[in-house]
A and B are shown apart, each in its own frame.
Chain A
């Protein structure tokens, strides 16, 4: 079946945002002594790099094969106050969010082709993709956390975490936030037959990250708004075909 960009977007988006977390308290501590507890609503969250793995079972929606994704995807995440990058090396895909004044600039990165599709603020608004910076930075909507039952802070190996559980709409959530780095250590969500688990594998201060985002300087950046007029561009044709095939993995 064919997939539309919009649905493709919401899918990538879902993967990006509803991610995972994990491993709770088994993540080895990278910071010790002066561990601070970060307020998750703080304007500037610590600059970090992290590695996650997301596993899914079942289909997200009934009769909804287009939502299918590889059962297990590992991905990397870099965050500073102005820029968030996510890469899925397995898929050769990445995404970039930049905060520029009040504007959000978003790019989908296609590393094999060295091309990118850029979404202007107006495109994002039109597509109803208007996440808050906080949501992008935390990988979770803090409003969602507010709706879940929060436990007391727990310390394990010098790492403070807080566990959240509950049901919102038809989805059952289990989230563990690492409060030293303001990242989810685990996100589990479940509805019907579908379940998704995202687990934090490693987290580092950004400056100490063992890997960097793929450089994208030379990439040819095309506008989302221009896709419709690039019907003969081999990259655009390929990307659209990929979207169509994604569920046939």
Chain B
């Protein structure tokens, strides 16, 4: 057995990721030192090119994991990153896409969080679902219990449409964010979805039905408060310090024109403008709805920041540049949030959600799902830069997966959005037709027996894809499947592609991260965070 070279590991550890050791970085570090004739390692990951180099890279990865990081138990801060719908196949495909877009080896590339030291599987089944929606899964992560479909931080004994505030209160489960506020910590939630959407909502709201986002969504006679209102009437600590996302219309009255889309109005029937209430009820507070205003926010002097950048969900990362009023990226929102939250000596809890990976998958559009996943990776990298492994636990996970697959036997380096090919020669299916590497098990991309519309770059419209003779699939030979609007094929016809039931991964780094191992029920995530913050009852 070779002796380890502690000084080498230490040197590696000083890299971009602080204590996080990049397997890739270690690999070329070793390769470089052990083989003087090895060509100069690039700044980025270098793919081993021989059996010996692969062997050494594998060995180095084990040495990294042998390092004892268990000294770190107690966290001051916790950041929970959630990729909504970011199953393992999504992570793999996004890793390859990111690498290929940067001109690197995609398969050897790793997203920011894939370099974390600790990993577990998360079992996502909810109390009443084999394959779950985003409400009970987010509740599991943030409130520590499994519950039923649609439930926002209430337990499984509640009815799906419980209108009573009293009953809802009795069935509510305190969240990690609420406990953090009780302890005087700072708290924040950042998302690219509506701020009232299930994943962000579970942090600050308790309601039986995820769809009750504004008062106009509540049934007549309901006494439970809508989700948006619960953000403003949050009873713990001094309220959230950071609330960034989309969903402006749920906070604005239906009599007031939207600032970005003047032809549109808010959704609230109670006449309340919650954006105004935010700034009047908190000191040193600000409300912003566009990029310029967001950029102008000084974290040093702002203690409560509300940012709502779209009437509904924010843009996909792929479309963000086209927003008229401008939207901050997930990375920029994460940075602003940390800079506001870190002012609190007692620490902070922050959830950051890439909320639209899920939406792109539902639409059968792999490109936007993957580019939003890369955006999440970038946000995690920024959080790593801005925090210290000694005091900040960072978790990255998904609430559930999607029926998204990476298929065939494409050669290493084959474009991930392309057609499966070996050494550039397209592989054919049983009908003699080429097929894409990425497909869905169900969804709107179903083509069986039907004419399918394909993107036509000539006029930016659609064109009917030719079916050869009686063949049951379109011939993709002339189709540009890497086009951002390409809809991957699906086996079972459904107007929206569905979630999937297999486990998702949890990546963890920092104090408490050692608890993330094995196959965990999803609600264990809350307990890992609570343990790291010393909240265990």
Tell whether A pairs with B.
yes
A interface residues (Cβ-Cβ under 8 A, vs B): 1-8, 10, 61, 63-64, 66, 82-83, 98-103, 105, 118, 120-123, 125-128, 130, 143, 220-221, 223-233, 240, 243
The A-contacting residues of B in range 299-319, CB under 8 angstroms, are 310, 312-313, 315-316, 319
A4-B444, A123-B363, A243-B495 known; A63+B322 contact, CB < 8 A: no
**Chain A residues within 8 Å of B322, by CB:** 121-122, 125
The closest CB in chain A to the CB of B460 belongs to A130
CA distance A188 to B271 in the complex (A): 50
Q: Determine if A228 and B313 form an interchain contact, defined as CB atoms under 8 angstroms apart.
A: no
Q: Say which residue of A2, A10, A105, A122 sits within 8 Å of B315 (CB atoms).
A: A122
Q: A128-B485, A130-B460 are in contact. List 15 more A-B contacts (CB 8 A).
A: A2-B493, A6-B487, A7-B450, A8-B495, A101-B261, A102-B324, A105-B263, A118-B312, A126-B368, A126-B484, A220-B216, A223-B312, A223-B313, A227-B495, A240-B495
CA distance A102 to B149 in the complex (A): 38
**What are 9 inter-chain pairs, A to B, with CB distance below 8 A?**
A1-B493, A3-B493, A4-B443, A4-B444, A61-B464, A128-B453, A128-B461, A228-B359, A228-B496
The closest CB in chain A to the CB of B448 belongs to A1
The closest CB in chain A to the CB of B249 belongs to A221
Q: Say which residue of A105, A118, A120, A229 sits within 8 Å of B134 (CB atoms).
A: A229
CA distance A6 to B322 in the complex (A): 23
CA distance A71 to B319 in the complex (A): 39
Q: Say which residue of A4, A83, A233 sits within 8 Å of B495 (CB atoms).
A: A4
**Chain B residues within 8 Å of A230, by CB:** 211
A100-B262, A127-B485, A220-B217 known; A229+B495 contact, CB < 8 A: no
**Chain A residues within 8 Å of B444, by CB:** 4-7
A118-B312, A121-B319, A126-B368 known; A103+B363 contact, CB < 8 A: no
Q: Determine if B324 and A103 form an interchain contact, defined as CB atoms under 8 angstroms apart.
A: yes
| Distance in Å: Cβ of A102 to nearest Cβ of chain B | 6
Could you tell me the dominant secondary structure of chain A's interface residues? mixed
A5-B496, A103-B261 known; A225+B461 contact, CB < 8 A: no
Q: Determine if A125 and B485 form an interchain contact, defined as CB atoms under 8 angstroms apart.
A: yes
A227-B362, A231-B133 known; A125+B498 contact, CB < 8 A: no
Interface assignment of B462: CB less than 8 Å from any CB of chain A: yes
Q: Say which residue of A61, A118, A120, A225 sits within 8 Å of B362 (CB atoms).
A: A225
**Chain B residues within 8 Å of A130, by CB:** 460
CA distance A229 to B450 in the complex (A): 26
Q: Say which residue of A120, A229, A232 sits within 8 Å of B358 (CB atoms).
A: A229
**Chain A residues within 8 Å of B133, by CB:** 229, 231
Interface assignment of B451: CB less than 8 Å from any CB of chain A: yes
Q: Determine if A225 and B264 form an interchain contact, defined as CB atoms under 8 angstroms apart.
A: no
Q: Determine if B359 and A63 form an interchain contact, defined as CB atoms under 8 angstroms apart.
A: no
**Chain A residues within 8 Å of B368, by CB:** 126
Q: Determine if B313 and A120 form an interchain contact, defined as CB atoms under 8 angstroms apart.
A: yes
Q: Determine if B261 and A100 form an interchain contact, defined as CB atoms under 8 angstroms apart.
A: yes
Q: Determine if A227 and B455 form an interchain contact, defined as CB atoms under 8 angstroms apart.
A: no
Q: Determine if B365 and A5 form an interchain contact, defined as CB atoms under 8 angstroms apart.
A: no
Q: Determine if B264 and A10 form an interchain contact, defined as CB atoms under 8 angstroms apart.
A: no
Q: Determine if A229 and B451 form an interchain contact, defined as CB atoms under 8 angstroms apart.
A: no
Q: Determine if B493 and A225 form an interchain contact, defined as CB atoms under 8 angstroms apart.
A: no
**Chain B residues within 8 Å of A8, by CB:** 495
CA distance A135 to B117 in the complex (A): 55
Q: Determine if B362 and A125 form an interchain contact, defined as CB atoms under 8 angstroms apart.
A: no
Q: Determine if A100 and B450 form an interchain contact, defined as CB atoms under 8 angstroms apart.
A: no
Q: Determine if B316 and A122 form an interchain contact, defined as CB atoms under 8 angstroms apart.
A: yes
| Distance in Å: Cβ of A124 to nearest Cβ of chain B | 10
B interface residues (Cβ-Cβ under 8 A, vs A): 133-134, 149-150, 160, 198, 211, 216-217, 261-264, 267, 310, 312-313, 315-316, 319, 322, 324, 356, 358-365, 368, 443-446, 449-451, 453, 455, 459-462, 464, 484-485, 487, 493-498
**Chain B residues within 8 Å of A7, by CB:** 444, 450, 453
CA distance A209 to B271 in the complex (A): 33
The closest CB in chain A to the CB of B364 belongs to A6
| Distance in Å: Cβ of A105 to nearest Cβ of chain B | 7
**Chain B residues within 8 Å of A128, by CB:** 453, 455, 460-462, 485
**Chain A residues within 8 Å of B443, by CB:** 4
Q: Say which residue of B363, B449, B455 sits within 8 Å of A225 (CB atoms).
A: B363
Q: Determine if A4 and B453 form an interchain contact, defined as CB atoms under 8 angstroms apart.
A: no
Q: Determine if A125 and B449 form an interchain contact, defined as CB atoms under 8 angstroms apart.
A: no
CA distance A209 to B28 in the complex (A): 74
CA distance A143 to B464 in the complex (A): 19
Q: Determine if A100 and B263 form an interchain contact, defined as CB atoms under 8 angstroms apart.
A: yes
**Chain A residues within 8 Å of B495, by CB:** 3-6, 8, 227, 240, 243
**Chain A residues within 8 Å of B445, by CB:** 4
Q: Determine if A4 and B494 form an interchain contact, defined as CB atoms under 8 angstroms apart.
A: yes
Q: Determine if B462 and A125 form an interchain contact, defined as CB atoms under 8 angstroms apart.
A: no
CA distance A186 to B359 in the complex (A): 40
| Distance in Å: Cβ of A196 to nearest Cβ of chain B | 16
CA distance A100 to B277 in the complex (A): 27
| Distance in Å: Cβ of A242 to nearest Cβ of chain B | 11
Q: Determine if B450 and A225 form an interchain contact, defined as CB atoms under 8 angstroms apart.
A: no
**Chain B residues within 8 Å of A225, by CB:** 312-313, 356, 359, 362-363
| Distance in Å: Cβ of A103 to nearest Cβ of chain B | 6
| Distance in Å: Cβ of A58 to nearest Cβ of chain B | 15
CA distance A66 to B495 in the complex (A): 14
CA distance A135 to B283 in the complex (A): 50
Q: Determine if B358 and A228 form an interchain contact, defined as CB atoms under 8 angstroms apart.
A: yes
| Distance in Å: Cβ of A211 to nearest Cβ of chain B | 22
The closest CB in chain B to the CB of A233 belongs to B211
A4-B446, A7-B450, A123-B363 known; A232+B496 contact, CB < 8 A: no
**Chain B residues within 8 Å of A5, by CB:** 444, 495-496
Q: Determine if B460 and A227 form an interchain contact, defined as CB atoms under 8 angstroms apart.
A: no
CA distance A3 to B451 in the complex (A): 12
| Distance in Å: Cβ of B445 to nearest Cβ of chain A | 8
**Chain A residues within 8 Å of B484, by CB:** 126
The closest CB in chain B to the CB of A225 belongs to B359
Q: Determine if A231 and B498 form an interchain contact, defined as CB atoms under 8 angstroms apart.
A: yes
The closest CB in chain A to the CB of B198 belongs to A229
CA distance A138 to B496 in the complex (A): 31
CA distance A7 to B151 in the complex (A): 32
The closest CB in chain B to the CB of A223 belongs to B312
| Distance in Å: Cβ of A149 to nearest Cβ of chain B | 20
